[in-house]
Chain A
Amino acid sequence: SITDTTLDFWKTAVGKRNRDRGNENDNGGSEISQCNKIILRSSIRSTISISTIPSYFLIFLLVMSLSLQSGGTSSRGLSTETNNALTAAPNQATTRPITTGTSVLGIKYRNGVMLAADTLVSYGSMAKYKNAKRLLNVNSRTLVGASGEYSDLQSISQLLKANALSDRCTSDSLYEEETNEECAKEVWSYLRAVMYNRRSKMNPLWNDVVVAGFKQNTDGTTSDTPFLGVVDKIGTAYEDDILATGFGGYIALPLMREKYRPDMEEGEARALLEDCLRILFYRDCRALNRVQIAKVTKEGGVLVSDPYELDTYWDFKGFVSSKGEMGTDGGW
């Protein structure tokens, strides 16, 4: 009951489909003959169903159901994979950082908050970019600094700047005296959402981002309370009076904790941070003595210094004379 014209029609259609899939010599014959066999087999089992359903429809169903399964019957055994190295989708998830920045230090002091970071971006063990800025201002009252993957920091910076611009454009009022910009706490919360979202997709932004500034009063004006917080690559958001990322957490944080007082003057805070950066340069092999300091104050807004070099002292006895000469057991 299956006419030849019907079979021919389906044979050419199936043959074209299989040729499109990569089987150069297929003309549909093998697949259609398999269909035929299935129909005959099933016709033996269930003659009632065959006689009631038009045969065209049955062939149609069979061929369509076979083709819907990936590859189709005739190509199943051969399994022609058209995904070769050139066209395969690449792995888009970040699995390791490539160009990295080291510690960022942050401390609150009497009039505001201060951040410090060196200007080295390392390429593995190579000190590749020695004048890279890792502290940047997002708007006139928020400061952001990050360690980790530098390209992710650039992406975050672009995102925050675009946010600041769209905030300005779509603000409630045309007049600057009636509008306000995102405060540090808002930026920190937003970054937490962004970082956690990326981690949940198993494609993190590989950074520890430090946000510094002030909180905001209910009417939008900058409050007197300084704010310092960090968001890490898995979306943990933490705020404190003193912060350090990376190696700074091990070496600088204990020193900062010892010396910290809430009413430190700016000069004191800066001296403390410079000292910590110097010690990090001695001990962290991915650090540099070329550094940047940035501060946020309520009246002055954000100020980021140009990079400058720290003096380093190499006449400690332990550097000059070897341990063996000093009467110890000769260890390094």
Chain B
Amino acid sequence: MASSGSGYDLSSSTFSPDGRIFQIEYAAKAVENAGTALGLRCRDGVVLAVEKPLQNKMLVAATTGRRIHTVDEYAGVAMTGFVSDGRQIVNRAREEAGSYEETYGTKIPPTTLAARLSTYVHYFTLHGALRPFGASTLVAAYDPATKKHSLHMVEPSGVSYEYFGAAAGRGRQSARTEMEKLPTNPKTAGGAEGGEENLITVAEGVKQLAKIIHTLHDEAKDKPFELEMSWLSEGTGWRHAGVPRATIAEAVAWAKKEIEEAEEESEDDEMEE
């Protein structure tokens, strides 16, 4: 897929003759091999979901290996890739949020938080002595000043964009296709007219993300996994918190049923032919 580095890939401070920095691309590959992380911006909030592969049967899955962290009252970060690299980014996000509030007396705006994190991640692509982060982070945040919620994703190269729906990790291609079918863009939701009221809600978003993750998970090939989900929404007072375990369980049950029904339908179709 990518041409061999042949000498230009030893350091992230070296360009290749065709204008690429291989170390950054390799860092992105590290993210592509890891569990899927999804983020969805809904009408009344943002939902984050991460597929947490259970490395072995002895792992206490419920509490360790967390991939979604709260960084501020109204902000949460989900990560995929090297989780230890992701932890560093989460810690930096907490510092940035804390120091912004100390200095300016208000909560850090989501765009500012994403910009600070992308500057931080980018810094590690500038020096030969450092390696780039091997983690992508999805930042879900709410700005109490403008009353707007948003979703950003910061990639190992240091770029960050704002998204209606973002995916990183193993199943990101298929996840993006699935998410594009959901009404998240106010310009196009519910037909050509669009409109705010046609946007997907957080409650529905939780179910849809659970379904996407379960669809992408290949029982045979991939390890068993735990689904970690969090949200910030009007219902939670905009505070970032984990989706209650009961709600996750409901969403997973619904998702599994939908997947089964879809499989039966496609089997029926095949039988008819």
Interface on A for B, CB 8 Å cutoff?
A: 158, 162, 165-166, 168-169, 172-177
Contact = CB atoms under 8 A, between A and B. Distances in A.
**Which of B66, B230, B241 has most chain A Cβ within 10 Å?**
B241
A174 B66 contact: yes
A305 to B, nearest CB: 20
Nearest to A158: B102
Nearest to B69: A169
Nearest to A169: B70
B53 interface: no
B244 A176 contact: yes
Contacts of B242: 173-176
Interface string B50-84: 00000000000011001011111100000000000
Contacts of A172: 63
Interface of B: 62-63, 66, 68-73, 94, 98, 102, 228, 230, 241-245
**In terms of DSSP, what is the predominant structure of the interface of chain A?**
helix
Nearest to A168: B70
B225 to A, nearest CB: 16
A176 B70 CA distance: 11
B231 to A, nearest CB: 11
A112 B85 CA distance: 46
30 contacts: A158-B102, A162-B98, A162-B102, A165-B72, A165-B98, A166-B94, A168-B70, A168-B73, A169-B69, A169-B70, A169-B71, A169-B72, A169-B94, A172-B63, A173-B62, A173-B242, A174-B68, A174-B69, A174-B70, A174-B228, A174-B241, A175-B241, A175-B242, A175-B243, A175-B244, A175-B245, A176-B241, A176-B242, A176-B244, A177-B245
Contacts of B66: 174
A233 to B, nearest CB: 24
Given A169-B70, A169-B71, 4 more contacts: A169-B69, A174-B70, A174-B228, A174-B242
B230 A174 contact: yes
A174 B16 CA distance: 43
B91 to A, nearest CB: 10
A166 B241 CA distance: 14
Contacts of B94: 166, 169
B247 to A, nearest CB: 10
Nearest to A164: B73
Contacts of A176: 241-242, 244
Contacts of B243: 175
Contacts of B63: 172-173
Contacts of A177: 244-245
A175 B245 CA distance: 7
A174 B76 CA distance: 10
Contacts of B98: 162, 165-166
Task: List 10 tightest A-B contacts by C-beta distance, closest first.
Answer: A174-B242, A175-B242, A169-B70, A176-B241, A174-B68, A169-B94, A175-B245, A168-B70, A173-B63, A174-B230
A168 B73 CA distance: 8
Contacts of B241: 174-176
Nearest to A162: B98
Nearest to B67: A174
A175 B62 CA distance: 10
Nearest to B73: A165
A231 to B, nearest CB: 24
Contacts of A174: 66, 68-70, 228, 230, 241-242
Contacts of B73: 165, 168
Contacts of A173: 62-63, 242
Contacts of B228: 174
Contacts of A158: 102
Contacts of A175: 241-245
A173 B70 CA distance: 10
A172 B62 CA distance: 10
A220 to B, nearest CB: 14
A190 to B, nearest CB: 18
A126 to B, nearest CB: 26
A162 B69 CA distance: 17
Contacts of A169: 69-72, 94
Nearest to A175: B242
A210 B73 CA distance: 26
Nearest to B243: A175
A98 B228 CA distance: 51
Contacts of B245: 175, 177
Contacts of A162: 98, 102
Contacts of A168: 70, 73
**Which of B68, B70, B98, B230 has most chain A Cβ within 10 Å?**
B70
A229 B244 CA distance: 34
B209 to A, nearest CB: 15
A231 B66 CA distance: 38
Contacts of A166: 94, 98
A165 B100 CA distance: 14
A176 B245 CA distance: 10
B192 to A, nearest CB: 39
A162 B100 CA distance: 12
A166 to B, nearest CB: 8
A186 to B, nearest CB: 20
A222 B103 CA distance: 34
B267 to A, nearest CB: 37
